[in-house]
Amino acid sequence: MHPVTIIGAGLGGLTLARVLHLNGMPAVVYEAEASPTARAQGGMLDIHDYNGQLALDADGRPEALRADLRRMLLDALPAGTVRWGCKVSGARALIGGGHEVAFADGSSVTARVLVGADGAWSRIRPLVSKAIPEYVGTSFVETYLFDADSRHPAAAKAVGGGSMFAPAGDRALTAHRERGDTLHAYISLIGDAAHLLAPNGEGANWALYDGAELGKSLAAHPGRLESGLDAYEQDMFARMSRADAETAKHLEETFGDTIPDSLLALMPEHQQGH
Protein backbone atom coordinates (compact mmCIF):
# COMPACT_ATOMS: atom_id res chain seq x y z
CA MET A 1 0.00 0.00 0.00
CA HIS A 2 1.47 3.33 -1.05
CA PRO A 3 1.24 6.20 1.45
CA VAL A 4 -0.38 8.36 -1.22
CA THR A 5 -2.55 7.11 -4.09
CA ILE A 6 -3.44 9.71 -6.72
CA ILE A 7 -6.27 9.25 -9.21
CA GLY A 8 -5.68 11.24 -12.39
CA ALA A 9 -2.49 12.10 -14.29
CA GLY A 10 -3.45 15.64 -15.18
CA LEU A 11 -1.44 18.69 -14.20
CA GLY A 12 -2.61 18.68 -10.59
CA GLY A 13 -2.02 15.00 -9.92
CA LEU A 14 1.40 15.02 -11.56
CA THR A 15 2.49 18.14 -9.69
CA LEU A 16 1.48 16.50 -6.41
CA ALA A 17 3.40 13.34 -7.28
CA ARG A 18 6.47 15.40 -8.19
CA VAL A 19 6.47 17.40 -4.94
CA LEU A 20 6.05 14.20 -2.92
CA HIS A 21 8.92 12.58 -4.83
CA LEU A 22 11.20 15.55 -4.11
CA ASN A 23 10.40 15.11 -0.42
CA GLY A 24 11.11 11.39 -0.39
CA MET A 25 7.47 10.28 -0.18
CA PRO A 26 6.44 7.51 -2.60
CA ALA A 27 3.20 7.87 -4.51
CA VAL A 28 1.44 6.10 -7.35
CA VAL A 29 -0.78 7.74 -9.96
CA TYR A 30 -3.60 5.86 -11.72
CA GLU A 31 -4.77 7.27 -15.06
CA ALA A 32 -7.68 6.14 -17.23
CA GLU A 33 -6.00 7.09 -20.51
CA ALA A 34 -4.00 4.34 -22.19
CA SER A 35 -0.86 6.44 -22.66
CA PRO A 36 0.42 10.04 -22.44
CA THR A 37 -0.50 10.56 -26.11
CA ALA A 38 -3.92 8.90 -26.08
CA ARG A 39 -5.70 12.20 -26.74
CA ALA A 40 -4.97 15.86 -27.38
CA GLN A 41 -4.22 17.80 -24.20
CA GLY A 42 -5.60 21.20 -25.09
CA GLY A 43 -3.84 24.32 -26.25
CA MET A 44 -1.78 27.17 -24.87
CA LEU A 45 -1.98 28.01 -21.17
CA ASP A 46 -1.19 31.29 -19.48
CA ILE A 47 0.86 30.32 -16.42
CA HIS A 48 -0.07 32.92 -13.83
CA ASP A 49 2.42 34.35 -11.35
CA TYR A 50 0.09 33.98 -8.34
CA ASN A 51 -0.62 30.24 -8.68
CA GLY A 52 0.73 28.25 -11.64
CA GLN A 53 4.25 29.74 -11.60
CA LEU A 54 4.45 29.31 -7.83
CA ALA A 55 3.63 25.62 -8.21
CA LEU A 56 6.25 25.14 -10.92
CA ASP A 57 8.83 27.38 -9.24
CA ALA A 58 9.27 28.95 -12.66
CA ASP A 59 9.41 32.71 -12.96
CA GLY A 60 8.97 34.42 -16.30
CA ARG A 61 7.28 31.57 -18.19
CA PRO A 62 3.91 33.12 -18.98
CA GLU A 63 2.77 30.59 -21.60
CA ALA A 64 3.14 26.88 -22.25
CA LEU A 65 1.37 24.24 -24.27
CA ARG A 66 -0.59 21.98 -21.94
CA ALA A 67 0.86 18.86 -23.58
CA ASP A 68 4.43 20.13 -23.11
CA LEU A 69 3.76 20.97 -19.48
CA ARG A 70 2.31 17.53 -18.84
CA ARG A 71 5.27 15.86 -20.53
CA MET A 72 7.69 17.89 -18.41
CA LEU A 73 5.95 16.72 -15.23
CA LEU A 74 5.85 13.09 -16.42
CA ASP A 75 9.55 13.15 -17.25
CA ALA A 76 10.31 14.46 -13.75
CA LEU A 77 8.80 11.36 -12.08
CA PRO A 78 10.45 7.99 -11.50
CA ALA A 79 9.57 5.32 -14.06
CA GLY A 80 6.45 3.42 -13.13
CA THR A 81 4.91 6.17 -11.01
CA VAL A 82 1.98 6.50 -13.43
CA ARG A 83 -0.12 3.41 -14.14
CA TRP A 84 -1.84 3.94 -17.50
CA GLY A 85 -5.13 2.40 -18.62
CA CYS A 86 -6.56 2.26 -15.10
CA LYS A 87 -10.09 3.65 -15.31
CA VAL A 88 -11.70 4.06 -11.91
CA SER A 89 -15.25 2.76 -11.58
CA GLY A 90 -15.73 3.67 -7.93
CA ALA A 91 -14.23 3.99 -4.48
CA ARG A 92 -15.36 3.19 -0.94
CA ALA A 93 -14.18 3.78 2.60
CA LEU A 94 -12.92 0.75 4.51
CA ILE A 95 -13.71 -0.14 8.09
CA GLY A 96 -10.65 0.70 10.13
CA GLY A 97 -9.39 3.37 7.75
CA GLY A 98 -8.20 3.72 4.19
CA HIS A 99 -10.10 3.35 0.95
CA GLU A 100 -10.54 0.78 -1.76
CA VAL A 101 -10.44 1.96 -5.36
CA ALA A 102 -12.11 -0.25 -7.97
CA PHE A 103 -11.16 -0.23 -11.64
CA ALA A 104 -13.17 -1.00 -14.75
CA ASP A 105 -11.20 -4.19 -15.42
CA GLY A 106 -12.31 -5.67 -12.10
CA SER A 107 -9.08 -5.06 -10.18
CA SER A 108 -8.76 -2.87 -7.10
CA VAL A 109 -6.18 -1.23 -4.84
CA THR A 110 -6.19 -0.13 -1.23
CA ALA A 111 -5.08 3.40 -0.42
CA ARG A 112 -3.95 4.87 2.88
CA VAL A 113 -4.30 8.44 1.59
CA LEU A 114 -6.45 8.83 -1.51
CA VAL A 115 -6.33 11.99 -3.64
CA GLY A 116 -8.85 12.65 -6.37
CA ALA A 117 -7.24 14.60 -9.23
CA ASP A 118 -9.54 13.17 -11.89
CA GLY A 119 -11.28 16.27 -13.15
CA ALA A 120 -14.83 17.53 -13.43
CA TRP A 121 -16.51 14.12 -13.34
CA SER A 122 -14.36 12.78 -10.52
CA ARG A 123 -15.06 9.26 -9.26
CA ILE A 124 -13.44 10.17 -5.94
CA ARG A 125 -15.44 13.32 -5.16
CA PRO A 126 -18.58 11.37 -4.07
CA LEU A 127 -16.62 10.11 -1.05
CA VAL A 128 -16.59 13.62 0.41
CA SER A 129 -19.30 15.59 -1.39
CA LYS A 130 -22.63 15.20 -3.13
CA ALA A 131 -21.85 18.11 -5.45
CA ILE A 132 -22.06 17.47 -9.18
CA PRO A 133 -20.98 19.72 -12.07
CA GLU A 134 -23.53 22.22 -13.35
CA TYR A 135 -23.70 23.73 -16.81
CA VAL A 136 -22.79 27.43 -16.64
CA GLY A 137 -24.20 28.23 -20.06
CA THR A 138 -21.05 28.32 -22.16
CA SER A 139 -20.02 25.70 -24.73
CA PHE A 140 -16.92 25.57 -26.89
CA VAL A 141 -16.23 24.09 -30.31
CA GLU A 142 -12.51 23.82 -31.09
CA THR A 143 -10.67 23.82 -34.39
CA TYR A 144 -7.07 24.13 -35.53
CA LEU A 145 -5.74 25.97 -38.58
CA PHE A 146 -2.35 24.57 -39.55
CA ASP A 147 0.18 26.47 -41.70
CA ALA A 148 -2.01 29.46 -41.04
CA ASP A 149 0.19 32.17 -42.54
CA SER A 150 0.27 30.46 -45.94
CA ARG A 151 -3.04 28.55 -46.04
CA HIS A 152 -5.27 30.91 -44.01
CA PRO A 153 -3.67 34.35 -44.34
CA ALA A 154 -6.81 36.32 -43.50
CA ALA A 155 -7.35 34.43 -40.25
CA ALA A 156 -3.64 34.67 -39.41
CA LYS A 157 -3.72 38.44 -39.92
CA ALA A 158 -6.81 38.82 -37.72
CA VAL A 159 -5.26 36.83 -34.86
CA GLY A 160 -1.86 38.46 -35.20
CA GLY A 161 1.03 37.28 -33.07
CA GLY A 162 -1.00 36.64 -29.92
CA SER A 163 -4.73 36.13 -29.47
CA MET A 164 -8.07 37.48 -30.61
CA PHE A 165 -11.50 37.72 -28.99
CA ALA A 166 -14.51 38.75 -31.05
CA PRO A 167 -17.83 38.78 -29.12
CA ALA A 168 -21.13 39.15 -30.98
CA GLY A 169 -24.25 38.95 -28.88
CA ASP A 170 -24.88 35.36 -27.85
CA ARG A 171 -21.74 33.97 -29.45
CA ALA A 172 -18.05 34.68 -29.78
CA LEU A 173 -15.02 33.65 -31.79
CA THR A 174 -11.69 33.40 -30.01
CA ALA A 175 -8.32 32.26 -31.30
CA HIS A 176 -4.68 32.26 -30.30
CA ARG A 177 -1.43 31.47 -32.01
CA GLU A 178 0.53 28.38 -31.09
CA ARG A 179 3.93 27.16 -32.24
CA GLY A 180 4.46 25.75 -35.70
CA ASP A 181 2.38 28.42 -37.47
CA THR A 182 -0.80 27.01 -35.91
CA LEU A 183 -3.95 28.86 -34.91
CA HIS A 184 -6.14 27.32 -32.19
CA ALA A 185 -9.68 28.64 -32.43
CA TYR A 186 -12.71 28.28 -30.16
CA ILE A 187 -16.28 29.04 -31.14
CA SER A 188 -18.42 29.59 -28.08
CA LEU A 189 -22.19 29.74 -27.89
CA ILE A 190 -23.90 31.15 -24.80
CA GLY A 191 -26.50 28.79 -23.54
CA ASP A 192 -11.86 20.38 -13.04
CA ALA A 193 -12.20 17.40 -8.98
CA ALA A 194 -12.31 19.54 -5.82
CA HIS A 195 -13.43 22.85 -7.25
CA LEU A 196 -14.82 22.95 -10.77
CA LEU A 197 -14.43 26.35 -12.44
CA ALA A 198 -16.00 27.67 -15.60
CA PRO A 199 -13.49 27.64 -18.49
CA ASN A 200 -11.39 30.77 -18.13
CA GLY A 201 -7.79 29.52 -18.00
CA GLU A 202 -7.66 29.38 -14.20
CA GLY A 203 -8.50 25.69 -13.81
CA ALA A 204 -5.10 24.42 -14.94
CA ASN A 205 -3.27 27.03 -12.87
CA TRP A 206 -5.16 26.17 -9.69
CA ALA A 207 -4.68 22.44 -10.38
CA LEU A 208 -0.92 23.01 -10.48
CA TYR A 209 -1.07 25.08 -7.31
CA ASP A 210 -3.26 22.56 -5.49
CA GLY A 211 -0.91 19.71 -6.33
CA ALA A 212 2.13 21.61 -5.10
CA GLU A 213 0.47 22.84 -1.90
CA LEU A 214 -0.91 19.41 -0.98
CA GLY A 215 2.47 17.82 -1.61
CA LYS A 216 4.22 20.34 0.63
CA SER A 217 1.60 19.98 3.33
CA LEU A 218 1.89 16.18 3.40
CA ALA A 219 5.69 16.38 3.41
CA ALA A 220 5.55 18.81 6.35
CA HIS A 221 3.60 16.26 8.42
CA PRO A 222 5.55 12.99 8.16
CA GLY A 223 3.76 10.27 10.09
CA ARG A 224 0.70 12.50 10.44
CA LEU A 225 -0.68 12.56 6.91
CA GLU A 226 -4.20 13.31 8.13
CA SER A 227 -2.93 16.55 9.68
CA GLY A 228 -1.31 17.45 6.38
CA LEU A 229 -4.55 16.82 4.53
CA ASP A 230 -6.53 18.94 6.98
CA ALA A 231 -4.12 21.87 6.75
CA TYR A 232 -4.24 21.80 2.96
CA GLU A 233 -8.03 21.53 2.80
CA GLN A 234 -8.66 24.45 5.13
CA ASP A 235 -6.48 26.69 2.99
CA MET A 236 -7.96 25.37 -0.27
CA PHE A 237 -11.57 25.94 0.82
CA ALA A 238 -10.93 29.59 1.65
CA ARG A 239 -8.79 30.21 -1.42
CA MET A 240 -11.17 28.65 -3.91
CA SER A 241 -14.26 30.40 -2.57
CA ARG A 242 -12.56 33.63 -3.63
CA ALA A 243 -11.48 32.14 -6.96
CA ASP A 244 -15.02 31.00 -7.71
CA ALA A 245 -16.33 34.54 -7.24
CA GLU A 246 -13.61 35.85 -9.57
CA THR A 247 -14.54 33.24 -12.17
CA ALA A 248 -18.19 34.28 -12.09
CA LYS A 249 -17.14 37.90 -12.54
CA HIS A 250 -14.87 36.97 -15.46
CA LEU A 251 -17.66 34.99 -17.12
CA GLU A 252 -19.99 37.97 -16.92
CA GLU A 253 -17.32 40.32 -18.30
CA THR A 254 -16.58 37.93 -21.17
CA PHE A 255 -20.05 36.74 -22.15
CA GLY A 256 -22.48 39.02 -20.30
CA ASP A 257 -24.91 41.60 -21.54
CA THR A 258 -22.39 44.46 -21.46
CA ILE A 259 -19.88 43.15 -24.03
CA PRO A 260 -17.84 44.49 -25.76
CA ASP A 261 -17.65 47.43 -23.31
CA SER A 262 -16.88 45.12 -20.37
CA LEU A 263 -14.00 43.57 -22.31
CA LEU A 264 -12.60 46.91 -23.43
CA ALA A 265 -12.62 48.11 -19.81
CA LEU A 266 -10.11 45.37 -18.97
CA MET A 267 -7.56 46.53 -21.53
CA PRO A 268 -4.93 49.03 -20.31
CA GLU A 269 -4.78 50.73 -23.71
CA HIS A 270 -8.51 51.47 -23.61
CA GLN A 271 -8.36 52.71 -20.02
CA GLN A 272 -5.54 55.12 -20.88
CA GLY A 273 -7.54 56.48 -23.79
CA HIS A 274 -10.33 57.43 -21.41
Q: Is the pLDDT of residue 271 over 80?
A: no
pLDDT score recorded for residue 191: 34
- Any idea what the CATH number is for the domain that residue 79 is in? 3.50.50.60
Inside any domain, residue 263: no
Average pLDDT over residues 203-229: 83
Spell out a b/e string for 36-71, using b for 16 or more CB atoms within 10 Å of the CB, else e: beeeebebbbebbeebbbbbbeeeeeeebbbeebbe
Same domain, 38 and 90: yes
Same domain, 68 and 14: yes
**Number of domains within the chain:** 2
Residues 27-68: pLDDT tens digits?
Answer: 999 999 999 988 877 777 778 777 777 787 755 567 788 888
* Amino acid identity, position 215: G
Same domain, 116 and 179: no
pTM over 0.85: no
Residues 108-141: pLDDT tens digits?
Answer: 999 989 999 998 889 999 998 888 887 777 778 8
Range of the domain at 158: 138-190
Whole-number percent of the chain with pLDDT over 70 = 79
Q: What distance in Å separates the CA atoms of residue 161 and residue 44, rounded to the nearest whole number?
A: 13
Inside any domain, residue 273: no
Same domain, 110 and 197: yes
The neighbour count for residue 118, using CB atoms within 10 Å, is 24
Inside any domain, residue 144: yes
